[in-house]
A and B are shown apart, each in its own frame.
Chain A
Amino acid sequence: MIVDFFFVLFAVMAIGGAAGMVLARNPVASVMYLVMAFFALSGVFVLLDAHFIAAVNLIVYAGAILVLFLFVIMLLNLGRTEKTDLRGPLYRMLAIVSGGAFFGLLLVMLRGGHVTSMAGGMGQETMDAMLRARGAVGVVADPMFRSYLVPFEITALLLLVAVVGAIVLARQKAP
């Protein structure tokens, strides 16, 4: 029961944050809305027993990446409330229709059982047992450093390349 309550709470927060981000005029407000949505999503992760993911999501996404966004907005001095950059009515309509249709179809997919059959769950007990046995970090670390060690290392390389690329791109060219 309590799980349901929190789920509804987080869900409402996440949806509200997402909608707020899309609709807010001020980019800084958008970032804050997104932070709220991410917080809520981390909550959902916790409810789904992905504690470690929830933590990483908070730290990396909400904490690091979104702060980076915030920095850029501040850096470019865009943090003022100006007239909205939302598109005109035609685009709004098209966007909402296509987005709605997309959502609708995803729902149809759920209802048709294409996905839910897989989503039934291994059972709360198994999950709990695993968590107890290995710990929240352990359950993730095990496959990551056994099966997916090479992709993991490649991710590191990707980040390195991204850092170098970002520096090269953003560097002020010498006059």
Chain B
Amino acid sequence: MDIETYSLILSALLFAIGTVGVMLRRNVIIMFMCIELMLNAVNLTLVVFSRSLGIEAQVFVFFVIAVAAAEAAVGLAIIISIFRHYELVDVDRFNLLKW
């Protein structure tokens, strides 16, 4: 097998770890970081495919990074404003939207 396949396996594994992380942790910041990890795993996939399907795929990596940055900025802002209210970062306690 070649490096591309191994990279894809690695990407899948990292993605799976990310999902497991979201499920396992209560700390909303860590969950966020797991999402970042998942995004990066996707980036890896995109890079692998850029080798066969065209270099444009790498452009999307940029977009993903830009969206991730935006998401991190807004998400962290939300976390800060929630923290101001509740003094905690435990997602299980953020259930205002649950009806």
Interface residue ranges, A against B (CB under 8 Å): 3-4, 7, 11, 14-15, 18-19, 21-22, 27, 30-31, 34, 37-38, 41, 44-45, 47-50, 52-53, 56-57, 60-61, 64-66, 68-69, 72-73, 75-76, 78, 85-87, 91-92, 94-96, 98-100, 102-103, 106-107, 110, 115-116, 118-122, 127, 130, 139-140, 142-144, 147-148, 151-152, 155, 158-159, 161-163, 165-170, 172
Nearest chain B CB to A119 CB, angstrom units:
4
Q: Report Cα–Cα, A45/B50, bound state, in Å.
A: 11
* CB–CB A30/B24 < 8 A: no
* A107→B49 contact, CB < 8 A: no
Q: A22-B17, A169-B80 are in contact. Are A41 and B44 (CB under 8 A)?
A: yes
Q: Count the B residues whose beta carbon is within 8 Å of the partner chain — how many?
A: 69
Bound state CA distance, A94 and B20, in angstroms?
Answer: 9
Q: How far is the CA of A148 from the CA of B63 in the complex (A)?
A: 10
Q: Which of A34, A44, A140 contacts B44 (CB 8 A)?
A: A44
Chain B residues with CB under 8 Å of A64's CB are 69
> Mostly helix, strand, loop or mixed at chain A's interface?
helix
- Contact at A18–B68, with CB atoms within 8 Å? no
In the complex, 19 of the A-B residue pairs with CB atoms within 8 angstroms, ordered by the A residue number, are A7-B6, A7-B7, A18-B37, A41-B40, A50-B50, A56-B61, A56-B62, A61-B40, A66-B33, A76-B80, A87-B24, A116-B4, A119-B51, A119-B52, A143-B55, A147-B56, A167-B77, A169-B81, A172-B84
Task: Choose among B37, B63, B71 the residue with the greatest number of A CB atoms under 10 Å from its CB.
Answer: B37
Contact check: which of A75, A143, A152 meets B56 at CB < 8 Å? Answer: A143
Where chain B touches its partner, the secondary structure class is helix
